[in-house]
Every structure is written in structure tokens, then in C-alpha cells.
């Protein structure tokens, strides 16, 4: 089922729901500037066998409203949008799964709105700012400099085909070097996303939004929601050491490593990722 949910005046988000409507809900929150279609269909279908799985386009991505230039917002607004989607479906609590920026939003929900979460999962994301170093002094690893240089060209004008090729190169860099990169898999994904959005310009609004209100890591000591932290060792934005940092900072966390995984969800990792998620959901009830 697909529908649009109005989360603010003049702002509607594309949302898709699969699976039994009376089953426990799973809300999938994608990363910055990414359509909800970046959650692989294969993953959604496996989860939807026993859960009501919801994925959606953030504002300024995909088929949702693009209006950042007229009405800028802080990134916490995206977390509030996630709750508005649950409200629109009449869902009080859900298993909430976040990838990349979605992982930051899930962490914010852990401290700001824990009563809405049955469980939390953070994939490929460092801890929020404000989280103290580990007892051994270990701090979080930064994003690889060469990736930041590549991202500095994000907003350069490109025709549709050049934009697709830029996105494929971005995925190649994010994928890492262990799992073979299938350019055609990601080319098909990006063509589908562009057709879904009806536009090919780069959705870079989230890179310009204010991150400061997300800095609530110091409040992790109060978190009681069971949280799965998935480490992605080949991730150039957030290596496995960052996942360990986050897991050791959360009182009720479980750390799982998906060997070979980078900052992408290719088909090759779907079986292991689905198994980790389902085990987490079943464990917490």
C-alpha cells in the first residue's frame, strides 16, 4: 500500500506499507538525501512476512515534498516526521531501524521519544555528539577525507545520465572493497529512484540542514530501549570501531558485525541483515 502523509502544512511524504496490518510494526528510516527505495525490496519482503513494514521518502527526497530552500529545517524535524508517519497509521510503538542519518535519527528518538519505540536498530552510524569517549580513551573515527572531497562536488549541475553515474560512483566508494560492487544493481536502483521522484537533480538538502539539535549523546545513560547496533567494517563513513563506541555507550545494546559490509545495502548482505533484524525483533518481543 502506498499513500502520502501530510507531516506539516504543505509537506507530504511518500510512504509504503507492506505486511499484515495487525502485526508488530517496523519503521525503516533511510539515510541523508536518500529515498526510502534504497531499502532493498528483498529485505522489506522478508521482514514483511511477520511484520508491518513501513518505508518512506524523507522530505526533500524521492516523491515527497522538496521545499528546503523555501523553508529550511533542522534534522530533528526528520525524526519528528517519522513519528508523524506512525501517527498517520495509528501505530503507537514500532521497531525503528535507521541507516546512516537514519541511525542518528533513531538515536535521537531513543532519548527524546523512547515511549514510541519497541526496539531500535542503528546501522552504519556513529554515536551522537555528546557521547563521552570510551574508558580506554577511544574516540570516534572521522569520515574518510577522500570521501569528503568527493562529496564536495555533490551540488555541481549534471544532466540526468551524469547524475546517475555520479551516484553510482558514490555507491562504489561507500560499498567498500570486500563485497564485489555490482554497478548495474545500483544503476537500476538509481534509475528507479529518479523515475519515482520525477526529477534527477541531487537531493542535497540534508547536507545543508542544522545538525546541532541531534547532539544528545550525553543522555544515553538513561536509555532503556533494547538497541541493536550493526557494525559495518568496510564503511568509509563510520567503521566498526564507531559501532563498538555506540554499543558500549548504550545500556541495553547488542552489537552485531556484518563482515564485508560497507555504507550500502547490496543484495549480497540482505540475508545476513534480515536475520540480524528478525532475531532482534523476536528477542525483545
Q: Please list the active-site residues.
A: 100, 235, 263
CB atoms within 10 A of CB 274: 18
Would residue 281 be called left, alpha or beta, if left means φ above 0 and alpha means ψ between -120 and 50 degrees? alpha
Q: Which of 21, 83, 82 lies closest to 57, judged by CA?
A: 82
Q: Which of 18, 122, 121, 16 lies closest to 62, judged by CA?
A: 16
Please identify which residue in the block is written with the cell numbers 501530510. 6
User: Contact at 8 Å (CB) between 150 and 170?
Assistant: yes
Please identify which residue in the block is written with the cell numbers 507531516. 7
Give CA–CA dist 284/198, Å, rounded: 40
**What Cα–Cα distance (Å) separates residue 283 from each residue in 26, 172, 247, 277, 280?**
14, 34, 17, 10, 5
Amino acid at each position: 500500500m502506498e499513500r502520502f502523509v501530510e507531516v506539516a502544512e504543505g509537506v507530504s511524504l511518500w510512504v509504503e506499507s507492506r505486511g499484515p496490518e495487525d502485526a508488530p510494526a517496523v519503521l525503516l528510516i533511510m539515510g541523508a538525501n536518500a529515498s526510502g527505495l534504497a531499502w532493498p525490496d528483498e529485505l522489506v519482503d522478508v521482514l514483511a512476512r511477520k511484520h508491518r513494514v513501513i518505508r518512506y521518502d524523507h522530505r526533500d527526497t524521492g516523491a515527497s515534498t522538496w521545499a528546503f530552500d523555501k523553508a529550511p529545517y533542522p534534522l530533528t524535524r526528520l525524526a519528528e516526521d517519522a513519528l508523524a508517519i506512525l501517527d498517520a497509521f495509528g501505530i503507537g510503538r514500532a521497531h525503528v531501524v535507521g541507516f546512516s542519518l537514519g541511525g542518528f535519527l533513531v538515536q535521537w528518538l531513543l532519548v527524546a521519544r523512547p515511549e514510541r519505540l519497541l526496539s531500535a536498530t542503528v546501522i552504519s552510524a556513529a554515536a551522537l555528539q555528546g557521547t563521552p569517549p570510551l574508558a580506554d580513551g577511544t574516540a570516534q573515527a572521522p569520515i574518510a577525507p577522500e570521501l569528503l572531497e568527493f562529496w564536495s562536488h555533490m551540488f555541481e549541475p549534471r544532466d540526468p545520465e551524469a547524475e546517475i553515474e555520479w551516484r553510482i560512483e558514490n555507491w562504489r566508494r561507500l560499498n567498500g572493497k570486500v563485497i564485489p560492487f555490482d554497478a548495474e544493481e545500483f544503476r537500476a536502483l538509481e534509475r528507479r529512484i529518479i523515475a519515482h521522484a520525477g526529477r534527477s537533480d541531487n537531493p542535497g538538502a540534508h547536507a545543508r540542514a542544522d545538525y546541532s539539535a541531534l547532539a544528545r549523546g550525553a543522555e544515553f545513560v538513561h536509555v532503556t530501549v533494547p538497541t541493536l547496533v550493526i557494525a559495518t567494517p568496510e564503511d568509509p563513513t563510520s567503521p566498526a570501531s564507531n559501532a563498538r563506541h555506540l554499543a558500549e555507550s548504550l545500556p541495553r545494546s547488542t552489537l552485531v558485525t556484518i563482515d564485508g559490509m560497507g555504507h550500502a545495502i547490496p543484495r549480497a548482505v540482505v540475508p545476513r541483515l534480515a536475520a540480524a533484524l528478525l532475531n532482534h525483533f523476536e528477542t525483545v518481543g
